[in-house]
Amino acid sequence: MYNRSDQFAKNVLRDALSRASTSETEVEVLAATQRIDVYSVPDPAREAERAQMGLLGELSAEPSLFEPFHKTPGRREIRHCLRKQLTWHHELERRARAAAGVPSSDADPEAPPPQPIPFPALVIISPGRPETALEGYGCKPVRPGVYHAVPELAMRIVVLVELPRTRETLLLRLLGSGRLMREALADLSALPDDAWERSVATPLLVHFRLGTGGPSKGEEEEDDVSAEIQAWFQEYQQKLRNDAIKEGLKEGLKEGLKEGERTLLLRQLRARFGELPATAVARIEAADVAELERWGERVLSAKTLAEVLDEAS
């Protein structure tokens, strides 16, 4: 998934889940040319943060693969995700055997590791109701908009259009389009300035939907909610202007947006690569908006910090 909506969805999920989990995007499944969109492992020390995250916190209470779809998936797309789930569990068991010091030459690839590895849950996020998948996998509703497949599959399907319009579903509803996105944006703007949802979603909305002024040549066209996002962003710009006036900020909106890009990039890099060297932080602090945006586009695909900050060879 490479369009802006998909990248936005992955980043919202990863950054929100990072409040209470170790979360990363583009997790490579080594046994096949597949990548998990977002993989989240809950941190027991951050249960309080997860309890504040509503439905997303409930869905991330166990190791989980999150697979958001821009269009309603059918059985074929969901089977593709199930293959990732099974292959990833196999890879986790292989890593556990290696960590326990079991020589690869002696290890039966199908043998269980010394300690059981929990089977990760699969969370499918669908904008509409995937009728064939819900029926085919025996999914039962557990709450409005949330379905569980038969227990052995450990699969949950979230239907965004069926979620109640409440704060606990807001981050997930932001992954929708059309009316669903418009309502979610209105709900987001109504939250207090210090709401955690705003700190996660606002810079990502700006960066992925509007920060570059529209899609690049050859990129997919923006979906039908683009006009609404543009209007919301203009309101956000006006709010920044008003805040700058009220607080006596002299550098104005341009510097505010630059600071947002810088803060977003630092958070993304720390989530991917851990604590950053002082030299890297200094480069980011001194960078202009164009450099920050260019580095931000590399974060998801880069395997090392150097690949992000160094010019492509």
* pLDDT tens profile 183-229: 998 899 889 988 999 889 887 887 775 444 444 444 444 445 566 66
Q: Write the CA distances from 265 to 16, 28, 299, integer angstroms.
A: 15, 22, 8
Which token pair is 189?
């703007």
> Could you tell me if 138 and 149 are in contact, meaning their C-beta atoms sit under 8 angstroms apart?
yes
Amino acid at 2: Y
Q: Which residues pair with 60 in a beta bridge?
A: none
Helix (H) or strand (E) holding 156: strand 155-159
Helix (H) or strand (E) holding 142: strand 140-143
Amino acid at 135: E
Could you tell me the sign of the dihedral formed by the alpha carbons of 124, 126, 128, 132, in that order? Answer: negative
- Within a domain: residue 241? no
- Within a domain: residue 184? no
- Within a domain: residue 106? yes
Q: What is the pTM of this model?
A: 0.68
Q: State the total domains in the chain.
A: 1
> Could you tell me if 27 and 92 are in contact, meaning their C-beta atoms sit under 8 angstroms apart?
no
Helix (H) or strand (E) holding 41: strand 34-42
Q: Higher confidence at residue 27 or residue 175?
A: 175
**pLDDT given at position 212:** 41
pLDDT tens-digit series, residues 76-129: 999 999 999 999 998 898 888 888 877 665 556 666 777 888 899 999 999 999
Which token pair is 194?
């210090």
Q: Which domain holds residue 56?
A: 4-176
- Within a domain: residue 257? no
Q: Residue 24: what are its φ and ψ, rounded to 5°?
A: -145, 155
Say how far apart CA 178 and CA 175 lie, in whole Å: 10
Mean pLDDT of 4-29: 86
**pLDDT given at position 210:** 41
Residue 31: pLDDT band with limits 50, 70, 90: low
- Within a domain: residue 41? yes
Q: How many residues does the chain have?
A: 313
Q: Which residues pair with 66 in a beta bridge?
A: 38, 123
Q: For the chain, how far is it from start to end, CA to CA, in angstroms?
A: 25
- Within a domain: residue 205? no
- Within a domain: residue 152? yes
- Within a domain: residue 158? yes
